[in-house]
């Protein structure tokens, strides 16, 4: 009777039963991270983080299988021999696999690491330490290259990180540098394979930046996938102790195009305006459009405008030095001067004439500052040349209505003298009507686009005449894809033209092909996201010369989703 009551109590109060502890629970949490709502977990090995996510309800078999098959990581006390594997099943290479050769001597056993009581345990513990060190190493490389921080972990920071939740212990010294180089070579091979398998049309951008006693020229590729996703990746970088000339730059680009086998798909090259007038470009790339950097041209125009008001600028700097009311501008960085002047608009030190002059100056350069600010704010995705070019036309219209606007109009008109960018605007649904062009220029641009479209195939006359002769009505769509595209209404709040093309690519297949080509043209010669981040430029100069190429390439390759297998989130 007493036993019966005890059994009934267990049935009625199941929470009183001791819950069974899963033997691999600690093992799983060394490799997965739980979401805030605790309904899903993400694999820490699949990069970018969050690429591989599983629904979580308490079981671990799915996660264990993922670790075993995709990353070659086994539960404590297990090895590959404990699992049957068909010949068709192979361990997918991961972004960490090339780190398995790293020497992990001196690493302390992490909390939750498998015990090493016997020979098999020692092998398992060694593999665990290698996988943990490899994950930490790849995470640190990704962070260091993204921020342009020193590759070697500062001793104090290393100690601080080890005191956190778990042990953060990436490689250091020569093994870390070797891992960075191996990662670069692995990613370059993967990118070349991707280019060979996908003949995307692309454009290049070329910019130069100065380090400590050297100059660096960087060549970046820009393309749009068949799914209308924008991509960009650094292809090459060259160092020189002297400033690069136009001929030097052309030679670097030619070598890059040859090395990556891009001769038949290159459509445009965006360069610094100091290089674009060289005839060497035309000789080396006769069928490629050379686009002078729009941002650099704007910067040159703004520097010229500010130079005409140099007495006003000098007084503003004296006010800042005396009272430290705002931040001082940076020499040669026009937008910092604009921000300083805007902050001093209402300062009492100005005379009536100076205040009026300052108001006029800020009203002229302010729209260009807004353009730059808005463009860099959108830099999470590559900025389209059509947006910058069209907004510059909008600024021209605003300047025409200002009393002092005529003084700046010639400088802006010089920037807009590029017919190839009007073709880019035609293929951006937001600006396809080209309202800023004269009727003659608009028609000329549309005719140029029409010539690039392949001719429609001629239907056999015998098969159509049997019924078409009895149907004497005009087809509203017979005028061609171009007319249909131009007449299709576009939402006034359209933000992403690439998303629009992704939906309409099957409606206008030939135009969609041209759109992928023209919309890949970069408005800037350098990274847009660095236009208003002076600290990044300073950190780039501190990168050791032997690591510059690796930093630049690895940093950009981490953003190319096609280098990651969709199924497992690992680098191919």
Residue 313 in 3-state DSSP?
Answer: helix
Given this model, what pLDDT does residue 568 score? 35
pLDDT band for position 428 (50/70/90)?
A: very high
Q: In the structure, how many helices (H) and strands (E) does the chain have?
A: 23, 8
Q: From CA 465, how far away is CA 569, in angstroms rounded?
A: 55
Backbone phi and psi for residue 388, each to the nearest 5 degrees, phi listed first: -65, -45
Secondary structure letter of residue 189 according to DSSP: H
Question: Would you say 138 and 570 are in contact if contact means Cβ atoms under 8 Å apart?
Answer: no
Q: Who wins on pLDDT, 461 or 266?
A: 266
pLDDT band for position 468 (50/70/90)?
A: low
Highest mean pLDDT among 193-207, 367-381, 462-476: 193-207
pLDDT band for position 523 (50/70/90)?
A: very high
Question: Would you say 338 and 362 are in contact if contact means Cβ atoms under 8 Å apart?
Answer: yes
How high does pLDDT run on average in the chain? 80
Q: From CA 407, how far away is CA 306, in angstroms rounded?
A: 12
Given this model, what pLDDT does residue 54 score? 80
pLDDT tens for 489-520 read 887 777 889 999 999 999 999 999 999 999 99
pLDDT band for position 467 (50/70/90)?
A: low
pLDDT band for position 105 (50/70/90)?
A: very low
Q: What is the mean pLDDT of residues 213-224?
A: 95
Q: Is pLDDT of 184 > 80?
A: yes
Q: What is the mean pLDDT of residues 317-332?
A: 90
Given this model, what pLDDT does residue 97 score? 35
Q: What is the mean pLDDT of residues 51-67?
A: 78
Q: What is the mean pLDDT of residues 383-405?
A: 90
Question: Would you say 229 and 496 are in contact if contact means Cβ atoms under 8 Å apart?
Answer: no
Strands laid side by side in the 40-43 sheet: 32-34, 40-43, 53-55
Reduced 3-state DSSP string for 434-448: CCCCCHHHHHHHHHH
- Which tokens hold the place of 521? 């043209």
Secondary structure letter of residue 268 according to DSSP: E
pLDDT band for position 221 (50/70/90)?
A: very high
Domain boundaries, the chain: 25-172, 179-293+524-563
pTM as predicted: 0.74
Q: From CA 126, how far away is CA 106, in angstroms rounded?
A: 12
Given this model, what pLDDT does residue 72 score? 72
Given this model, what pLDDT does residue 79 score? 67
Given this model, what pLDDT does residue 110 score? 41
Q: Is pLDDT of 109 > 70?
A: no
Q: Is pLDDT of 83 > 90?
A: no
Q: Is pLDDT of 206 > 70?
A: yes
Q: What does R_g of the chain's alpha carbons equal in angstroms?
A: 30
Architecture of domain 179-293+524-563: 2-Layer Sandwich (3.30)
Given this model, what pLDDT does residue 397 score? 92
**Residue-level length of the chain:** 572
C-alpha pair distances (Å), 330 with each of 19, 163, 333, 335:
65, 40, 5, 9
pLDDT band for position 104 (50/70/90)?
A: very low
Given this model, what pLDDT does residue 153 score? 78
Query: Virtual CA dihedral for 522, 524, 530, 531, nearest 10 degrees?
Result: -140
Largest pairwise CA distance in the chain: 105
Given this model, what pLDDT does residue 123 score? 45
Q: Is pLDDT of 244 > 70?
A: yes
């Amino acid at each position: 009777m007493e036993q019966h009551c005890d059994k009934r109590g267990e049935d009625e109060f199941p929470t009183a039963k001791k819950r069974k502890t899963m033997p691999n629970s600690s093992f799983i949490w060394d490799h997965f991270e739980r979401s805030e709502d605790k309904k899903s977990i993400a694999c820490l090995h699949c990069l970018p983080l969050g690429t591989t996510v599983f629904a979580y309800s308490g079981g671990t078999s799915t996660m264990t299988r993922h670790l075993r098959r995709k990353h070659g990581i086994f539960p404590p006390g297990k090895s590959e021999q404990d699992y049957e594997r068909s010949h068709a099943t192979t361990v997918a290479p991961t972004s960490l696999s090339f780190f398995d050769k790293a020497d992990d001597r001196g690493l302390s056993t992490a909390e939750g690491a498998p015990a090493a009581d016997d020979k098999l345990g020692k092998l398992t513990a060694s593999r665990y330490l290698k996988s943990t060190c490899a994950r930490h190493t790849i995470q640190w490389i990704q962070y260091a290259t993204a921020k342009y921080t020193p590759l070697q972990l500062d001793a104090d920071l290393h100690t601080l990180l080890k005191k956190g939740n778990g042990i953060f212990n990436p490689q250091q010294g020569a093994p870390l540098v070797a891992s960075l180089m191996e990662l670069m070579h692995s990613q370059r091979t993967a990118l070349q394979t991707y280019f060979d398998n996908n003949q995307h049309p692309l454009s290049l951008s070329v910019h130069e930046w100065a380090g400590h006693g050297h100059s660096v020229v960087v060549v970046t590729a820009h393309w749009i996938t068949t799914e209308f996703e924008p991509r960009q990746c650094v292809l090459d970088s060259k160092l020189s102790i002297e400033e690069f000339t136009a001929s030097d730059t052309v030679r670097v680009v030619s070598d890059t195009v040859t090395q990556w086998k891009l001769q038949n798909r290159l459509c445009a090259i965006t360069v610094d305006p100091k290089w674009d007038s060289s005839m060497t470009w035309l000789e080396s790339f006769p069928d490629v459009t050379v686009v002078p950097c729009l941002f650099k041209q704007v910067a040159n125009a703004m520097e010229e405008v500010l130079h005409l008001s140099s007495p006003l600028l000098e007084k503003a700097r004296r006010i800042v030095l005396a009272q430290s009311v705002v931040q001082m501008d940076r020499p040669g960085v026009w937008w910092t001067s604009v921000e300083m002047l805007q902050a001093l608009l209402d300062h009492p030190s100005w005379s009536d004439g100076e205040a009026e002059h300052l108001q006029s100056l800020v009203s002229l350069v302010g729209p260009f500052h807004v353009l730059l600010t808005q463009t860099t704010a959108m830099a999470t995705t590559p900025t389209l040349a059509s947006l910058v070019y069209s907004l510059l036309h909008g600024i021209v219209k605003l300047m025409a209505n200002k009393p002092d606007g005529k003084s700046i109009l010639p400088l802006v008109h010089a920037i807009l003298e590029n017919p190839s960018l009007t073709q880019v605007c035609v293929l951006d649904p937001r600006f396809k009507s080209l309202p800023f062009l004269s009727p003659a220029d608009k028609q000329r641009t549309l005719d140029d686009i029409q010539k690039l479209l392949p001719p429609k195939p001629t239907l056999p006359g015998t098969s159509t005449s049997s019924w078409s002769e009895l149907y004497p009505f005009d087809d509203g769509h017979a005028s061609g894809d171009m007319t249909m595209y131009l007449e299709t209404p576009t939402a006034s709040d359209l933000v992403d033209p690439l998303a629009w093309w992704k939906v309409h690519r099957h409606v206008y297949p030939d135009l969609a092909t041209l759109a992928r080509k023209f919309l890949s043209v970069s408005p800037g010669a350098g990274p847009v996201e660095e236009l208003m981040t002076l600290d990044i430029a300073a950190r780039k100069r501190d990168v050791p010369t032997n690591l510059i190429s690796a930093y630049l390439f690895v940093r950009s390759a981490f953003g190319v989703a096609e280098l990651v297998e969709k199924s497992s989130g690992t680098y191919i």
